Structure formats: C-alpha cells, structure tokens
Amino acid sequence: MLIGRSEKCLLEPPKCFPNLDSFVGNKHPRSVDACQSFYWGKTKAVHMNVLVVDDSRVTRKIVVRELELLGIKQVDEAVDGVEAWRLFRQAPYDCVITDWNMPNMNGLDLLESIRVMDSEVPVLMITTESEKEKVIQALQSGVTDYLLKPFDEAELHQKIAKYALDFGHSPVSH
C-alpha cells in the first residue's frame, strides 16, 4: 500500500537522491507528495520515456506507480516482448523495464533485439529467474540491471531513480 511504502521511504531514504544532505534529524516529510517534493524540490515531472513490459497487469501497475512517484509520467506498457518490440521501434525510450518470462517473446529475446539495434538504452529486468546461469545470461546479453520477484517497492524505486539520474535526466517543472 502507498502509505506503508511512503513511510518506509521516509524511514530509510533512498541513497540515490541528491538532496539527502537536507535529511536532518527526524524532520521527515509525512506524505507521498511531501516525500516527492522533499527529494525533487517543488518539481514533479521528469522528462523520461519508459517502456514497461510484463504479462502481469499487477506488476505493470506497481512499476508504473513507482515511476509516477518519481515524477515520470511518459510511460508505455506492453503485455509481451512482441508488443514491446513494436513500440520500441516506433518511439525513442530512455529506459525499458521488462519481465523475463512472457508469452510470444520473452524479455531476454526483447533485450537481445534491443542490443542488436545498437541501442544502449538501460534495460532493467524484473524476474523470478534467480539461477546464477540465468543472471549471467542476462548480463552477457546486455541487461543494465536485474531485480528479483517478489521485489521490495523501495528497491524498485531506488533502481528507477538511479537511471533517471545516471542518464542525465533531472526533474523539471511542468
């Protein structure tokens, strides 16, 4: 639930946010909006196009909610790799967040298709595939980051925020 997630965010602030020096004593913001404003200043929009790919509607909604908490509103969703590949070729994306196990085209095949295009877009794989060989296979295929299901929403939030900052995206006003 958002309230619990928000409270966790306040108790254990993500290390990737730039304004942590302002996090003094127990003066924590007390709401999701205050948490966003605290980290990002008074701005709430990050101009970043993200493609979220998962056959689970629930997982897609969780990921989209975390993106929205970071101020990322330009999000497309796909239910499998085939739909994602079609979308990826039609529009520029700054980040792709994909599941591995999906019907029609899995996340690894999607990742390899993206890399064959010489695209260096960050690809975060969220999956149940935890065997060492699978992780190595994803890394060799060019995955940028890996997150195991079930995942902690705060960890997902941190990873997404890292890519928003690492790849030169900064919050901007509406």
146-173, pLDDT tens digit by residue? 998 888 888 888 888 777 765 454 433 3
Residues 112 and 131 in one domain: yes
Residues 50 and 128 in one domain: yes
Residues 139 and 81 in one domain: yes
Q: Coil, helix or strand for 90?
A: helix
Residues of the chain where predicted confidence (pLDDT) is lower than 70 = 1-45, 165-174
SS (H, E, C) 129-163: CCCHHHHHHHHHHCCCEEEECCCCHHHHHHHHHHH
pLDDT on residue 14: 39
pLDDT on residue 61: 94
Residue 5 sits in which domain range?
Answer: 1-43
pLDDT on residue 174: 28
Residues 67 and 151 in one domain: yes
| CATH code, domain with 69 | 3.40.50.2300
Q: Cα–Cα distance between 102 and 105 in angstroms, integer?
A: 6
pLDDT on residue 50: 94
Residues 39 and 58 in one domain: no
| Residue 114 within any structural domain of the chain | yes
pTM over 0.85: no
| Residue 36 within any structural domain of the chain | yes
Total domains present in the chain:
2
pLDDT on residue 84: 97
C-alpha gyration radius of the chain:
16
Q: Nearest Cα to 77, choosing from 5, 65, 6?
A: 65
Residues 105 and 117 in one domain: yes
Residues 17 and 91 in one domain: no
| Residue 174 within any structural domain of the chain | no
Residues 69 and 108 in one domain: yes
